[in-house]
Structure 1
Amino acid sequence: MTDLVLSDSLTAARRRLEAALADAGRAPDAARLLAVSKTKPAALIREAWRLGQREFGENYVQEALDKQAELADLDDIVWHFIGPLQSNKSRDVAAHFAWVHSVDREKIARRLNDQRPAGMAPLNVCLQVNISGEASKSGVTLAALPSLAEAVLAMPRLSLRGLMAIPAPAQTPTAQRAPFARLREALEALRARFPDAELDTLSMGMSGDLEAAVQEGATLVRLGTAIFGERRRPDTND
């Protein structure tokens, strides 16, 4: 991808988000764009950074660590881990990311908390909810969500910020909005249950359903192919 094409695609993604927010009657800064950069080279991330993008999402730990090392001079870049997290990778994630969107069980949360370096700010965490009840998808159930949230809120090196979901594909705006509405309602219920918690994040919406997610209150939308083009590996989180 050339600089010119990346500039065009990033501008188009920003305008799409702005239009969706306006259509939903929300403030222009009510949602942020998370550029999903998995499988894309560090040089392309650097160009996106030069064009003003600061938040990037990665799915694969070692790939992300290699890019972070190459881009270490970009001191205001914000790294989000958005992929499935294995226990044997938790130490690297705890030490090298500002956000984790895919916490779905207490064991992983506990490892991230215990392994977060003391000199770093608490790790921002979203709990991944299996909002469509798919057997093939990771995520905590809605029934188990309150107890997991309570456990994470008690961990001092984690900051529970909200919820993330990857709904089953749907073809119509109405069908797309339904699972996002359930996730929003789940976050509202957590806010009522834990009024002192900083629960301000709904990580939902990807290239095919951004508008539906924004209508239901998304604050972080994850766009990859719309910004960087097609990938060599199958998409699972943008």
Structure 2
Amino acid sequence: MMTNLFSIFDPSTNLFFFSLNWLSALLGILFFPYIFWFLPNRYSIFWNMINMKLHNEFKTLLNYENNKGSTFIFISLFLFILFNNFLGLFPYIFTSTSHLTLTLSISLPLWISFMLYGWIINTQHMFTHLIPQGTPFILMPFMVLIETISNIIRPGTLAVRLTANMIAGHLLLTLLSNNGCKISNLLVTFLILVQIILLVLESAVAVIQSYVIAILSMLYSSEVN
């Protein structure tokens, strides 16, 4: 019996007091070795097509001529979050992206590296971001304060956005499935249909959220150049 609604997101599988749930974050690596055995194949062609589409879209948002290769950082981020979001939809696989432990570990180092690069290399450019163009003189201290706060909370908003979206869908699926044994056969059929629709919706959310995280991280990096 589930004592706590959020207990489905707690690491509980362990061996010799070491949690094994976080190994699910590495399961995506198992999908890659197939590429190196048979070339070319549909699998490699499919992923190369996705990588090139993302690369062509991301480089339009970056100063790619001066930062060649930088798009692959965000493509890797997109694929890593995408794998973990999808793996969390399978039964008995721990959803690592529903924990702030993982999402903050991704967003915080990225944000810190962007800030260090911006303030050390482009100090004047970073100061101009604190005061939007055309701001009245009397409002400048307030704008600096507002822009500073909005900049500081960026890694938190990135982490919470991904965590909240993954938790919300999984909680809804769990709540509906727990009522399956208490309703009639006719309503069970309807419940299964609703669950399938929600699963399709969660699959779309898994793609959208990984794309949103990659795009926002890239926009934050483009601001410091």
Tell me if both proteins adopt one fold, taking TM over 0.5 as the criterion.
no
TM-score w.r.t. the length of structure 1 is: 0.22
- Name the structure where helix makes up a greater proportion of residues: 2
TM-score by length of 2: 0.23
Q: Which of the two has higher C-alpha Rg?
A: 2
Hey, which of these two has a bigger chunk of strand by percent? 1
